[in-house]
Amino acid sequence: MTTPDNTTATSAQDETTEQPKYLRRIRSFVLREGRLTKGQQRSLELFWPTMGLEHQPQPYDFEQVFGRKADLVLEIGFGMGKSFVAMAKAAPELDFIGIEVHKPGVGACLGEAETEGVKNIRLFEHDAVEILNDSIADGSLTTIQLFFPDPWHKTRHHKRRIVQPDFVQVLRRKLKIGGVFHMATDWENYAEHMLEVMTAAEGYQNLATDNLYVPRPDNRPLTKFENRGVKLGHGVWDLMFKKTN
Ligand SMILES: C[S@@+](CC[C@H](N)C(=O)[O-])C[C@H]1O[C@@H](n2cnc3c(N)ncnc32)[C@H](O)[C@@H]1O
């Protein structure tokens, strides 16, 4: 399957056929033919021209994109976007960049932003690894959010987890000094993996007082996947790491 932006849908078989540019070839997602609702389709047609951004090989000037100078928050994998839009609405002084590969989620998020009258968001429908490497300037982000990433719970799929030593160094490059990488998950084993990768990573400081997990921050709305996990009786772990150098 080829999506409109020429992103080839991946499967276990074709993940090695991509261009050699990116070192990290194993993807954290599998694109499925997502059926768009009429509302999502309509939102994409009406609001993508003003809120959508295309992948480009050089960094965007976000002061120009948003028409002002503001701290930038980037969220990876916002899902249907409800909590992402709620955060942007609650912090109008910040500008929010969302990245999601799932087109129905992008459509839903655009519709939600319009309904809520939120203007301080822009969205990419693309692989976050490529957007970060190509389209985001180094040292430009105040916060990076990764909420309830796909846990890939089978051991043979752990290599697909997005939190990996190389990836967290890409994130560190994109953060300002003092900027924060905030993760949350409802999978204990993934929380432990995040903690292990981040504790070993150079240039980060754990913001948890006990060097483990931080209390759930008040400014993080309940996300769709968090809600699902909570209903299943899962715990929730938040991790916050500051870029120190
Ligand atoms: C389990 S869902 C969580 C969604 C949302 N954060 C929530 O908590 O409800 C993970 C999301 O990450 C997206 N995703 C996974 N890998 C991605 C990548 N490399 N770039 C952009 N989005 C990605 C998936 O499409 C999916 O929507």
Two structure tokens written together for 35: 């059926």
pLDDT, tens digit, for every residue of 70-112?
A: 999 999 999 999 999 999 999 999 999 999 999 999 999 999 9
Nearest CA to ligand 1 atom 15: 29
Helix, strand, or coil here: 45? helix
Helix, strand, or coil here: 141? strand
- The pLDDT score that the predictor gives to residue 10 is 37
24 CB near ligand 1 (under 6 Å): no
Hunting for tokens 């503001």 — which residue is that?
70
Dist CA 10 CA 17 (whole Å): 9
pTM, entire model: 0.91
How much distance in Å is there from the Cα of 77 to the middle of ligand 1? 3
Q: What average pLDDT score do residues 113-127 get? A: 98
Nearest atom (ligand 1) to Cα of 75: 6
How much distance in Å is there from the Cα of 225 to the middle of ligand 1? 10
How much distance in Å is there from the Cα of 163 to the middle of ligand 1? 12
The residue among 140, 237, 152, 157 whose CA lies nearest residue 196 is: 237
Nearest CA to ligand 1 atom 14: 77
Nearest atom (ligand 1) to Cα of 105: 27
DSSP 163-214: --HHHHHHHHHHEEEEEEEEEEES-HHHHHHHHHHHHHSTTEEE-STTSS-B
Nearest CA to ligand 1 atom 10: 149
- The pLDDT score that the predictor gives to residue 30 is 86
Helix, strand, or coil here: 43? helix
Nearest CA to ligand 1 atom 12: 77
Residue to mutate (ligand 1; options 15, 99, 148; most atoms within 8 A of CB): 148
pLDDT, tens digit, for every residue of 1-49?
A: 333 333 333 333 344 445 555 554 799 998 877 799 999 999 999 999 9
Residue to mutate (ligand 1; options 74, 87, 101; most atoms within 8 A of CB): 101
28 CB near ligand 1 (under 6 Å): yes
Residues known to be catalytic:
150
Dist CA 73 CA 120 (whole Å): 10
Nearest atom (ligand 1) to Cα of 149: 10
What is the rounded average pLDDT for all residues in the chain? 91
